[in-house]
């Protein structure tokens, strides 16, 4: 049961905001709050490493591959270590699903929450100094605390998320998250080591004129996608594609727009991952008045069959996603 929402002023610290948020939930006992703090702490460490990546030997590829056969960048692996360590020390998470690890990681059997995370998305942009991001989803475990983790804890639908967010390591570093009661954005002040509320109650414009898609493989797009792209061009929309999902999503959240990664000849189920990319951003989009689908269904209703499964992804302004679905 929620008590009355108190609108906190711009400049409120993330910690104060989380504490205030918790007080709205009569039975909240603080674990979710602590979990959000653990994620924020890890993001501060990753942010520091990203900002000096050019100066110390952590750019470039590891020479290894991740679960999807993609070249692991050194910062990918570092970010995964940082988040895994923060969540392990925090003790609130019982299991971690990560793009960087084949199976889920058992963390602490007494933790109440399951985290799905892409520690560093857009890693191909790291060496060219383009914005990159972390994406996370938080679920409540289904099994009893203390019991072994099972697939029913791990493979949950996006609509079961209790919280989701992203960190955008851009010209400024921002943390944007929702606990199902709206979306709020915090800007990081490195000299103080604090996130401050800068974008309260974020709402995605209902319509927009920006479309984000890699048209390289357009020859293999479905007729529906080709028709939608023609519609965008006939209506003089603007094409903006950074090649970093979090950066494209964040711009569309602020200005209105649609991001599409459809099925292609190379990625017949799309390239993006349901568990640790699409579910989180679809939850945020819906909380901000937008929508997220796989071209047919709401992303949040899709039943995951495996940890790293891919899905076509259409996310952004409600009217633009509806138009693309026609």
* CB of residue 153 to ligand P6P, shortest distance in Å: 25
Q: Draw the binding track, 230-259, toward ligand P6P (x: CB under 6 A; -: no contact).
A: -------------xxx--------------
Closest CA to 319 of 289, 295, 296: 289
Least distance to ligand P6P, CB of residue 301, Å: 22
Q: What does each C-alpha distance from 154 to 15, 143, 266, 269, 283 come to in angstroms?
A: 28, 10, 28, 21, 17
Q: Does 301 bind ligand P6P (CB under 6 A)?
A: no
Report the DSSP pairing between strands 105-106 and 113-121.
unpaired
The interface mask with ligand P6P, positions 255-294, x = CB under 6 A, is ----------------x-----------------------
Contact between 323 and 231 under an 8 Å Cβ cutoff? The reply is: yes
Strand order in the sheet with 258-261: 238-239, 210-212, 258-261, 313-316, 291-293
d(CA 114, CA 96): 6
Q: Based on CB atoms, which residue is closest to ligand P6P, 139 or 261?
A: 261
Site string for ligand P6P, 92-121 (x = CB under 6 A): -----------------------------x
**Total site size for ligand P6P, rule CB under 6 A:** 8
Strand partners, 195: 188
Q: Is 173 in the site for ligand P6P (CB under 6 A)?
A: no
Supply the minimum distance, in Å, between the C-beta of residue 134 and ligand P6P: 11
251, containing H or E segment:
helix 245-255
Rule CB under 6 A: say whether 122 interacts with ligand P6P: yes
Contact between 226 and 218 under an 8 Å Cβ cutoff? The reply is yes
Tell me whether residue 266 or residue 303 sits nearer to ligand P6P (CB atom). 266
Q: How far is the CB of 215 from ligand P6P (least distance, A)?
A: 9
d(CA 295, CA 283): 16
Closer of 82 and 271 to ligand P6P (Cβ) = 271
The residues of the shown chain that bind ligand P6P, judged by CB under 6 A, are: 121-122, 124, 214, 243-245, 271
């Amino acid at each position: 049961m929620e008590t009355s929402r108190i609108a906190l002023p711009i400049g409120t610290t993330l910690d104060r905001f989380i504490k205030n948020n918790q007080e709205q939930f009569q039975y909240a006992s603080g674990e979710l709050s602590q979990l959000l703090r653990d994620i924020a702490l890890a993001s501060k460490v990753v942010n520091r490493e990203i900002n000096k990546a050019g100066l110390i030997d952590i750019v470039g590829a590891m020479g290894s591959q991740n679960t999807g056969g993609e070249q692991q960048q050194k910062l990918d692996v570092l970010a995964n270590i940082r988040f895994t360590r923060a969540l392990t020390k925090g003790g609130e998470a019982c299991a971690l699903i990560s793009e960087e690890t084949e199976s889920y990681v058992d963390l602490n059997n007494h933790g109440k929450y399951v985290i799905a995370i892409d520690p560093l998305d857009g890693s191909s942009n790291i060496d060219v100094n383009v914005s990159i991001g972390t994406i996370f989803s938080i679920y409540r475990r289904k099994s009893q605390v203390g019991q072994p983790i099972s697939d029913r804890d791990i493979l949950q639908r996006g609509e079961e998320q209790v919280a989701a967010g992203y960190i955008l390591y851009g010209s400024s570093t921002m943390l944007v998250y929702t606990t199902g009661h709206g979306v709020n954005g915090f800007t990081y002040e490195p000299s103080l080591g604090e996130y401050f509320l800068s974008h309260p109650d974020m709402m995605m414009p209902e319509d927009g004129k920006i479309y984000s898609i890699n048209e390289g493989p357009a020859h293999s797009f479905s007729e529906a996608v080709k028709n939608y792209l023609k519609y965008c061009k006939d209506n003089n929309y603007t094409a903006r594609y950074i090649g970093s999902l979090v950066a494209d999503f964040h711009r569309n959240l602020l200005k209105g727009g649609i991001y599409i990664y459809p099925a292609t000849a190379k990625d017949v189920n799309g390239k993006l991952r349901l568990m640790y990319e699409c579910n989180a951003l679809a939850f945020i989009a819906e909380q901000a008045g937008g929508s997220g689908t796989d071209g047919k269904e709401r992303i949040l209703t899709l039943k995951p069959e495996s940890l790293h499964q891919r899905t076509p992804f259409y996310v952004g302004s409600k009217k633009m996603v509806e138009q693309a679905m026609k």
